[in-house]
Structures are given as C-alpha cells and as structure tokens.
Amino acid sequence: MSKDDFLNELKRIKGNPIYFLEKYYNSVNADNPLVLSDIEKESIYKQFKGVPVFKNPDDAFDYHEKTEKLKKKGLKDWEIH
C-alpha cells in the first residue's frame, strides 16, 4: 500500500463510521463481530459522518447530484461515502 492509498483510506474511515465498522473493527474482532441492521447503521452514520469540504460551490452541486443518483439506485448513505 502506498502512502496515497493509506491517506485515501484514512479519509474514508474518518468520514464513514460504517465503513470503519465493516472493514476494520469486525476484522479485528472476527470472533465477536458487531452486526447492525440498516436502521442502526443509518443512525450511527448520521451521528458520526464527516462533512465534505469543497474548493468551489460547483463541486458541492456536483457532489449532491451524484449522491442523489446513487440513492435512487438503492445505495445507502454509508455505501456511497
């Protein structure tokens, strides 16, 4: 893994607690993983999610549009980010 790969992974973990749970926490605690319902995941995600920062307003609009399209395809918030 390169330094850039590590930093990208770290950014994703910092902004997505469910990604952290499924990718790391449950692998370290494989003998006793934490299994959550979609409702529980959504609640935790909303409580701890990161807020994206954009360099210009157009990026924010593009981000919102992309997110809405993915939600319409059936992806959950924590699966998108």
- Model confidence pLDDT, tens digit, residues 22-77: 999 999 999 999 999 999 999 999 998 877 888 888 899 999 999 999 999 999 98
CA–CA separation, 7 and 74 (whole Å): 28
Contact 41, 18 (CB under 8 A): yes
CA–CA separation, 42 and 7 (whole Å): 25
Of 27, 23, 14, nearest in space to 53 by CA: 14
Of 11, 14, 17, nearest in space to 78 by CA: 17
Task: Decide: residue 45, CB within 10 A, 0-12 exposed, 13-18 middle, 19+ buried.
Answer: buried
